A and B are shown apart, each in its own frame.
Chain A
């Protein structure tokens, strides 16, 4: 009897263990969005915010919140969510906590293509399209080369990606060196990530929700895959198809995120890693938690980026790095 009770207790603890952090993160997400729409050149107090949300409030506040701040906040949230999820997926794929879409050269390809479009004087839409194409092209090159003569290993994929990223970096420097002076600030902002032009939040948000629906049933499979390819195959995982799906999905998520907001580093690397240190390695918890935490981090970072030295704006990538690096190092130091 006591045995059965203990087991039930374990199960309930298991479910609670998985749900509670997600509820907390959801609440924090709403809070972060609330902060993001309240702070700026005109401050909206919490009571005014509640009035606006219930359909009343000042006309100025309504315009400010629904037409200016909310779309940008949601775009930041969605972009952060995509980047963190892509990083979490890449880390399982490569069984390496250092993996992230940026380390693998995806954002480098996107950046080169975007800078070329800027030099050619194309408009914002074409710059985005070009970045998307660049990210996918980089994906194909890395995966094709790593695949090489038949079999690729995680280490080989990681090395190929790192080398490609370095190559892209050199081209980016070259492009910056030969570009006309007046284009440089725009280019640098794009390279550090900038949400000022991200006015359409729905693509990133929809993709974030869709990809979570795709990934959640795979949670247990990813847990097994994280043990290594051979062990996973012996336990019944169709390793190669799952790895292809992971790589393509992570690439797509990165491409869309980069297209929306330029290249923002650190989110994909640090958010999943911090969550793993805090919550353990169950992908069924880490993946949705990454999505939410990535969104929270980028929403808050973007709020800081546009208010710290207002009316000027900072590139949001600077903020994510400045917040993320010390936080990450502290967590890593304390985890030992």
Chain B
């Protein structure tokens, strides 16, 4: 099982002081939640961890090997990224989009096998997209597109999931379904790191928390030590009240 480690990592955000270097590792079975206000660099961090952006300093290592020493294909076999907004290129159907998740596993001349197709179909079924599989991406709603992104990474079956706002555009039922899916992946031995806007989702579904402050400061650790109301109020610059429902804290902003 894979481990993704940030070694003295400082992400490169133009015009921002370097702040605090990250020393953390995402291990099998862990669910990390990244919290921070708009513009605090959650997405940039996720892209840096995926090797899609160069850090300002430090490096990211997969099982001890720095990402830049690995081929992109090897990285893609281990790391799967769910993007916040899917870029719209040429029109493609839902099924074709899920199938490209097999790309890192197929050599140039090899055709997609029955197994590959079965994986894509299972992923679409898992995300309630079976009925839409022949629809063109551009005709889907935001929430449906979000689920297609998740289905593509499920088809890719990486060891580490890097997920940007997995619950964006999703209705309540699908929010829970997606968080269950990510938990299931973690229980099956994957590492998961997700950027979240919703504190309560993080409190309920993550076991490790990383707080990113807009000035570049950061702190991280197990959920129970991190979700302190004072720290969260400083993070968002917003007063919060805390309630407890079923033993879990629920944070509500004070109007």
Residue numbers of A with Cβ under 8 A of B are: 4, 7-8, 10-11, 14, 95, 97, 217-218, 220-221, 223-224, 226-228, 230-231, 233-239, 276, 281-282
Whether B109 lies near A217 (C-beta < 8 A) is: yes
Known A-B contacts A11-B114, A95-B90, A281-B92; the reply to A238 vs B71 at CB < 8 A is yes
Whether B100 lies near A7 (C-beta < 8 A) is: no
In the complex, what residues of B have CB within 8 A of residue A231's CB?
83, 86-87
| Cβ-neighbour of A235 out of B74, B100, B121 (below 8 A) | B100
In the complex, what residues of B have CB within 8 A of residue A236's CB?
71-77, 103-104
Whether A223 lies near B73 (C-beta < 8 A) is: no
In the complex, what residues of B have CB within 8 A of residue A218's CB?
108
User: Which residue in chain A gives the minimum CB-CB distance to B117?
Assistant: A7
- Interface of chain A: mostly helix, strand, loop or mixed: helix
CA A217 – CA B107 in complex, angstroms?
Answer: 9
Known A-B contacts A7-B114, A10-B117, A236-B76; the reply to A281 vs B90 at CB < 8 A is yes
Residue numbers of B with Cβ under 8 A of A are: 47, 50, 52, 71-77, 79-81, 83, 86-92, 96-97, 100-101, 103-104, 106, 108-109, 112, 114, 117-118, 121, 156
In the complex, what residues of B have CB within 8 A of residue A14's CB?
112
Whether A237 lies near B87 (C-beta < 8 A) is: no
Whether B156 lies near A235 (C-beta < 8 A) is: yes
CA A238 – CA B72 in complex, angstroms?
Answer: 6
In the complex, what residues of A have CB within 8 A of residue B103's CB?
220-221, 224, 235-237
Whether B108 lies near A220 (C-beta < 8 A) is: yes
In the complex, what residues of B have CB within 8 A of residue A4's CB?
114
Known A-B contacts A233-B52, A235-B101, A238-B71; the reply to A8 vs B156 at CB < 8 A is no
Whether A7 lies near B118 (C-beta < 8 A) is: yes
Whether A230 lies near B104 (C-beta < 8 A) is: no
Selected A-B contacts with CB under 8 Å, 26 pairs: A7-B117, A7-B118, A95-B89, A95-B90, A221-B103, A221-B108, A224-B103, A226-B89, A226-B92, A228-B87, A228-B88, A228-B89, A230-B47, A233-B52, A233-B72, A234-B52, A234-B79, A234-B80, A234-B81, A236-B72, A236-B74, A236-B76, A236-B103, A236-B104, A237-B72, A281-B90
